[in-house]
Amino acid sequence: MIARRVFRLTAAAALATSAVGLGVASTATAATAAPAVSSFPCSDSGTGSTLGIAERVAEQNLRGDYTVLSGISLSYDTQEPDGSWYAVVSARCGNPR
């Protein structure tokens, strides 16, 4: 009979502790939630000896300046008179770095 009472008290204490722990975890999670990210169109440019290199340089510049939220696409390219390439890439970005 004493063993049953001890078991019931232990079970009740464990249940109360887990209920309190859940309440604290929910509050802590809500308090540390990240703020909403604003998004906007962004673009950057790059140059190189080939179109592929110019595009990669532009993408690296874009990723260095902004937080990219969507896929990067080539917006504009042209070959310069000296044979080098100029490329502009664009994406949907978030807060600047």
Q: What is the pLDDT of residues 13-72, one digit of tens each?
A: 554 544 445 444 445 555 566 656 688 999 999 999 999 999 999 999 999 999 999 899
Residue 10 lies in a domain: no
Task: Please tell me the predicted confidence (pLDDT) of residue 96.
Answer: 66
Residue 13 lies in a domain: no
Task: Please tell me the predicted confidence (pLDDT) of residue 33.
Answer: 60
Residue 23 lies in a domain: no
pTM: 0.60
Residue 91 lies in a domain: yes
Residue 53 lies in a domain: yes
C-beta of residue 54 within 8 angstroms of C-beta of residue 46: yes
Phi–psi pair at 30, nearest 5 degrees: -65, -35
Nearest to 91, CA basis, from 35, 51, 40, 49? 40
- The range of the structural domain enclosing residue 76 comes to 40-96
Q: What are the residues whose beta carbons fall under 8 Å from the beta carbon of 41, sequence distance 6 or more?
A: 90, 91, 92, 93
Say how many domains are in the chain: 1
